[in-house]
Every structure is written in structure tokens, then in C-alpha cells.
Amino acid sequence: MSLLVRKSSSLVVRPSPEPATTTTRATIKLSSFDMGLYNMPTTSLLVFERPLHNAAETIQAALSRALSHYYPIAGRIVAREGGCDGDGGDEDDDEVYIDCNGEGVAFVAASASQALKEVVCFDDLAVYYPDMACGPGDPLLLMQVTEFSCGGFVLGVTWNHGVADGAGMAQFLNAVGELAAGLPSPSVPPVRWDGSLPSLPPSVLEAQQHMLSLEPLSDLVSMHVTISMESIHSIRADFSSSFHGQPCTTFEVALAVLWQCRTRAIGLDPETPILLMFVADVRRHVGAKEGYYGNCIVEQFAMATSGEVADGDVKDVVMAIKRAKDRVPGLLKEDEGQGMVSQQELRNVDTYGMLLVTSWRNLGFDLVDFGSGRPARVTSSGKDMPPSPAVLGFLSNGRDGVSVLSTLVREEHAGAFLAELAKFTVRSS
């Protein structure tokens, strides 16, 4: 059964005039963490199974109040020549800013005649930017609330990545939930400008630009798989036993399973270089202020040959990922970017040999509560995975394990990939 979603006309939600003490700045300069992301959208879908009376109206009202605290989200991103007339830093030429003009965000109320349990595809449960790119003058946030016949609802949030990373957007949505519950202000005071943040080293920025410049792959098949917690616990126990009690995380195991299964499935020559890229939150490494919701993430790479990943034990793949994570603080060292993969190494990897993974786990999306309880599921949308310069995987918490929405392989490799996953007792659909 196809999902029929009835959408209202898009409304503009502006910051509430309360509290009257809210102070705004004219502009906020984007940091080096933001600069490569300000025309990129991303989407998060929060699935709530318990009914919330007048869900759309409740969330819309709380959204307006939250924007009075998170006023940059109601602004627009613009490029300017010259300096900044807020307190965003020194005067530089050709900088990109958030213009805190209060123009507001887009909000759509929607309904569906089906029950949530009948929904297979979530693509129509969010609003998207035209051509999947954020253009000049576009709102920085697009929100849709879809109410279902069973009483459950889905919150779809699409935002300009330049204004917030995943942890920052989760912080904002938690603030919306707190205001919907009647709190006078968010429990975590928001911070959008933090002048103490370091600039990213040139090597890190160059690697980011290289990845963004690659030609997209358009022939990948979309799949939704779940890596069972039973398998994850088993691998974690085996890893700890093999490495003198050293622990590993669910994230590291999930990445290792995906990387190994995919590498085996696509069958590259054993000496072919391959790459895993994952996103790391570095707030604690750079001393970001509490409540900072701008971008504070870096991309880290793990390099290997196809044979090392495909033919090795999965716990050794976990260790390779752990070592890459341990190198993250070195990426931030001024003018060095220690631990960053070189440009030459990146150029040696074919795009189909690259696996890009980001995780919604532990960012705070699963804590959002508008009055009827936390979401049963947090995921992304298939439309949020357009043709990419590499294969993609979005990790989120599932009832039975780690849920992965992915475009990981071409059609001819899909069967082999699922067969490899089955060896780890992974349930797929």
C-alpha cells in the first residue's frame, strides 16, 4: 500500500516576541567547521508512536518560542565582502555569515490515513530543498509534522548543515520539546558563536574539499538493514578477550561489520586501496562552550587494502577503526592535521572503494519529547541520500540493534552483501 500524505501549505514560523530580553546580533560569521557545509541539507525523522493532542499545533507554537532563543536558525546564510558587524571575529574579505534577520523557518502540517506500522517508506514525511541543495535566501530549517490514523506522528526536520551539526540540531529539538512541556526557557542555554574554536588545519580542509569534488555515484541500491545487538555484544566480548580487556564501542563494531561485509561483497583485488570515512564530534577536544550548536565535527579516514579488510578477522577491523578514532585529536593540531590521510592517498582510492558513515546514535535525537514520550525510532530519509561521491550509511538506534539506512552497493553486489551480513546474524529487509 502506497502512503498517501496530505500536506497543508507551507507556513513561515518566526521567533516569538517572548522573551522580550532576547538579544540578537546582526550577523554571525561561519567558522571553518561550518564553511564546507553551508549549502548541504540533511534530514532527520523522529517517529513517535504515542499520540500527542494537536501535535502539529503544539510543535509549531513551541518552535516559535524556541526560535527566540535560537534566533540564528530563523535567519539566512549570505556571502558578503568585508567584515562582520556582530561579534563574529576579525574583518575578512569574502566571508559567509548567518544574517540574523528573523525571516523564519518553513513549517508544514500533514496527515496520513494509514497507521504508522503500515509505513515502509518515509520519504514523504519531510520537506526538502529544491535539487537537494540549500540556495541563497532559503530558510535554514524545514519542518513537517505528519499525524497518522493510529495517533502516532513523525517529525521530519531538514536543515542547512551550515547552521548546526547533528548534535546541535538534536539540542534545538530538545529545547522545542521542553518549551512544549511548559518550561519558560531551554534547560541548556544555546551558544552559536564560540570565538575560542580553533581553525581547522589546511590538510583537513583539503581532504574535505577533495571528497566534495568527486563525481557522484548514481547506480547504488538503497537498503535498510539491522545489525543485531546479539552480534554486536558477541564481537565486543571477543574483542575484549583478544586485546587484554580493552573495550570497544557499539559504533566501532557496527562500522567494522559494514566495512568488512561490503568489502567482501564487491570483490576488489586484495591489493586495491579502500577507505572508510566517519564523522567525529570534537566538542570535547576543542573545549567548545556548553550549549554550542554550530558545527563541531571532522571527517576521519581509515585506509586499508581490500584484502586486509575482507580476509582479516572482524575484531582486527574494529581495532583499525579504533586507531583511526584515536587519531582524531591530532587532526586539530594547528598547521599539521596529524593523522589525516594524504591527498595522494585519497586520489588513489576509486569512489566505489569509499564507504562514508555517519551516526544519529547518541546525539540526543532519541531524547526529544514533546509531551507524549520519546521517539520509538530515529532515522533518515531515502531522499536525503542523493547521488553521492561514495557509498553511504546512516546509523541509528533500532529496537533490535543498530539500524542502517544505506546506499552501500550496486545492484550486482546486493545479494552478496546481504549474504555476508547474514553470517553476522543480521536481520535485513
> Which residues are known catalytic residues?
161, 369
In 3D space, the residue among 141, 176, 171 whose CA is nearest the CA of residue 292 turns out to be 171
CB crowding 312-338: b at 16 or more within 10 Å, else e: bebbbbbbbbbebbebbeebbeeeebe
Rg (CA), the chain: 22
Q: What CA–CA distance (Å, rounded) separates 10 from 123?
A: 17
> Do the beta carbons of residue 32 and residue 194 sit within 8 Å?
no
According to DSSP, the β-strands at 105-112 and 11-13 are antiparallel
**Single-letter amino acid code for the residue at 230:** E
Q: Residue for cell digits 521530519?
A: 156
CA dihedral 314→316→318→323, nearest 10 degrees, is -170
CA distance 148 to 4: 11
CB atoms closer than 10 angstroms to residue 344: 7
In angstroms, the Cα distances linking 80 to 28, 85, 258 are: 12, 11, 42
Interacting residues of 354 by C-beta distance below 8 A, sequence separation 6+ = 274, 275, 276, 277, 389, 390, 391
Place of cell 557499539: 250
Largest CA distance in the chain: 64
Residue 191 near residue 289 (C-beta atoms within 8 A): yes
Please list the alpha-helical segments (H only) found in 15-163: 32-35, 55-69
- Please check whether residue 135 is in contact with residue 129, taking contact to mean a CB–CB distance below 8 angstroms: yes
Bridge partners of residue 220, in order along the sequence = 410
Half-sphere exposure of 129 (CA within 13 A, CB side): 26
Answer whether the bond into residue 19 is a cis peptide, omega within 30°: yes
